[in-house]
Structure 1
């Protein structure tokens, strides 16, 4: 900020907090010199997110102490750090075979972001929308987002899902498609060992490799009810 901008800042602070007003000419001159020394590299306002008046208002509302020039300088530095933390350094348009020019453009972009002249360049987020046409055609060819070879490799690590898919392929009822009435496993979850103590309390929570027979019977009965005549 220039001296006239610092003077405007002091006048604004005095309007919000009269405790900071200096009445004597010498005190006013010294205060202006001190504030300008600490705030000469702090902008009054930028095009992207910084306004010294908002920082002053926030301090006045949040703190019982009069604002000092270091408070504004620290807020500006925190604002700069936040902007640079959100900046992802897009690839410069300069020739990468000329490292001096390439680096100079990269630094200019960073300095513009830090000074508030340009907005941070963040990573593009995943957006909703239809998949590209070539992706849809590929899915129609293979019938699944996971190719058969990859599915076969994953079967070793997902035995429960592999068993369900094998049951569907062979028209066997999917036992995990119904709730188990014995161990109370929900739909889609494997059955668990359910043991009882002599006093009737339940113990044991190990996953079973196969569903309980009663769950299989329930799946068969449900499949029979839904099978067209």
Structure 2
């Protein structure tokens, strides 16, 4: 803010809280100097920031006269929150031109911090599929390309087996609940071992579902095909 804006702000504060009014010319000048020292880099108003709002909130919430540091702290909190939500999108400048690239990055941060530009958040990146993404999904049929899916198969054998069965048109045993071990849909079967006295000894995952689960999945697939 400029000095004339500081003077206008102090006049506004005086209307809300007469305790802050300075009638002596020298005291009023010193008050403007003090406020300008702390609020010289604080804007009077931006699209979502208004110093009058910060002043009204203080007058309503605090019994003490407002100080310039109170406004400065509110502005710093507001600025810090905006920068925390900003994800620094890649500048359009040539990355080999370090000075131009850095200048664009800093200019974007400054615009966000001062309220002249909105933060670029992660939600904006993932808010919805764009036309390029939709076209690629139609081409490959999945978010994971086939080549990458094949490379991942050794590390997730259960899922790879499901995908292979579905691709061949075979029943997916994990699409139904296992009546033998009680595994829910989508969960692998468990090897439940018990002692002679009936106490549980193990509950490890099985790489292959129980045979009865295959039968249940086949019956469910038959019903689906008949209903179709």
Q: Report the TM-score when normalising by structure 2.
A: 0.72
Matched, 1:71 2:80: no
Deviations 1:15-38 (A, max 9, x none): 323333345555444333322333
Identify the match of residue 187 of structure 2 among 183, 186, 189: 189
Deviation at 1:10, TM superposition (A): 1.8
Contact 2:173/2:209 (8 A) holds in 1: yes
Deviations 1:66-93 (A, max 9, x none): 2111111222333344445527266365
Larger gyration radius, structure 1 or structure 2: 1
1:34/1:193 CA distance change after superposition, 3 Å: same
> For 1:98 and 1:76, how far apart are their aligned partners in 2?
34
Q: Which residue of 2 aligns with 1:135?
A: 136
Q: Which residue of 1 aligns with 2:126?
A: 126
Contact 2:88/2:109 (8 A) holds in 1: no
Q: Which residue of 1 aligns with 2:205?
A: 207
Q: Secondary structure of 1:135's partner?
A: helix
> Which is further off, 102-111 or 214-223?
102-111
1:56/1:180 CA distance change after superposition, 3 Å: same
Q: Which residue of 2 aligns with 1:60?
A: 59
Aligned residues: 222
Contact 1:89/1:110 (8 A) holds in 2: no
Contact 2:174/2:186 (8 A) holds in 1: yes
> For 2:164 and 2:100, how far apart are their aligned partners in 1?
60
> For 2:205 and 2:211, how far apart are their aligned partners in 1?
15
Q: Which residue of 1 aligns with 2:91?
A: 91
1:195/1:158 CA distance change after superposition, 3 Å: same
Deviation at 1:207, TM superposition (A): 0.9
Return 5+ residue gaps in structure 1 as ranges.
Answer: none
Contact 1:90/1:121 (8 A) holds in 2: no
**Mapping 1:21-40, distance limit 5 Å:** 21-22=21-22, 26-40=26-40
> For 2:219 and 2:101, how far apart are their aligned partners in 1?
71
Contact 2:91/2:104 (8 A) holds in 1: no
Contact 2:38/2:68 (8 A) holds in 1: yes
Q: Report the TM-score when normalising by structure 1.
A: 0.71
**Mapping 1:97-112, distance limit 5 Å:** 111-112=110-111
1:126/1:171 CA distance change after superposition, 3 Å: closer
Q: Which residue of 2 aligns with 1:151?
A: 149
Contact 1:84/1:120 (8 A) holds in 2: no
Deviations 1:53-110 (A, max 9, x none): 01112222333432111111222333344445527266365x8777666666665555
Greater helix percent: which structure? 2
Q: Secondary structure of 2:204's partner?
A: coil
Q: Secondary structure of 2:181's partner?
A: coil
1:183/1:84 CA distance change after superposition, 3 Å: same
